[in-house]
Amino acid sequence: MIYLDNSATTRPYPEVLALYTKLSNEYFGNPSSLHTLGMEAEKILNQARKKMAAFLECSSNQLVFTSGGTEANALALYGTVKRHSYAHIITTTVEHASVYENLQALEQSGYDVTYLQADQFGRVTVDQVKEAIQPSTVLVSIGHVQGELGTIQPIEEIGKALQSYPQIKFHVDAVQSLLKVPFSIIEAGIDLMTLSAHKVHGTKGTGLLFSKNPKTLESMTKGGSQEQMLRPGTENTAGIACFAKAISKSAQKAVYEQKRLKQLTRHLRSELEQIKGVRINTPKEGTAPHILNLSIPGVKAEVLVQALGYEKIYVSTQSACSTKTGKPSRILLGCGLNEDRARSSIRISLSFETKKEEIDLCIETLHSIIPKLQEVMK
């Protein structure tokens, strides 16, 4: 099996799975319980929180654990604007569905949202953000790495520009950039940031929202005092501890792996560019090292994904949260690409565990099956 759908989810590290099993079996108490078993679970939770805070260079009380990146994004958006009966929000046309669709819902509730038009590579500029600011703007929400194309947004420049507007909070969805693209919460002037464990070899069901000042957020739900009353419900102690362990293990080799992944995707791009009819959608510069998006106009993406699947090579058509809609990629359409190109795009995404031999076999297989599919589709 060659797994190249790592932007959808990664395989948990063996050490992470072992820890999950141990904690779920031996420390299953509710961390809010007052008895010994609960106190032991709370201790594990606090240790993991401290590790995550040390990695992010922030305070433990600035972290709110959630069920995943989607919930963390929703808390950042709703939690910010719920304090305002009317507000203006700035985002882009190429955000993940968990941001884009929640903002559409807020728009229907009466809030004003500006969607910055991304260029053909999915990138917006700091000037676009500055030009869109209104007196009523309270939030700017922009993903660091575009999940389908791998394009890096200029969050440091945007964050510095927003320092002149202290009433505006800057939310960054960093789910796809964590450990792949270096950044600093402080240098980028980030007020709110979303992370997800299963994108970095942790387990599913655990997300994190960094909030520079959690007291300025409103909870979306009621029902408990957990996570500073911002996310009621029993914490996923084992998942949170595994998140911290996955971060710790990956951080030790991140610098080396970022360079290695960049070499692998460059090699992959170079080979694919030689196949007649292949169009590379990911820009050459300013991209994350682990994502490459391509189209074969005339060949449906689902057909290519299935053909690769028969060879036990697994890639995706678009973001996993949108792949079953049957619609062409909203992201590529939002970049101005035509429907044929948007319908025929696939995403190849690597992880710290991807080997060069796997990339070479993927290239060899694509060289073989793409001409055949192009002939059938004529």
Q: Write out the catalytic residue numbers.
A: 321
Q: What is the DSSP letter of 13?
A: P
Strand-pairing partners, residue 41, are none
DSSP characters over 240-280: HHHHHHHHHHHHTTHHHHHHHHHHHHHHHHHHHTTSTT-EE
Q: How many helices (H) does the chain have, and how many strands (E)? A: 12, 12
Are 349 and 314 in contact by the 8 Å Cβ rule? The answer is: no
Convert 9-30 to b/e letters by CB count within 10 Å (16 or more is b).
bbebbeebeebbeebeeebebe
Of 100, 76, 54, residue with least CA distance to 211: 76
CA atoms within 13 A on the CB side of 21: 7
DSSP characters over 105-146: HHHHTT-EEEEEPP-TTS---HHHHHHH--TTEEEEEEESB-
Task: Look up residue 260 and give its amino acid.
Answer: R
CA–CA separation, 76 vs 98, rounded Å?
A: 11
- Any idea of the CA torsion for 176, 179, 183, 186, to the nearest 10 degrees? 100
The CA angle 348-349-353, to the nearest 5 degrees, is 130
Strands (E), 2-157: 2-3, 63-66, 88-92, 112-116, 137-143
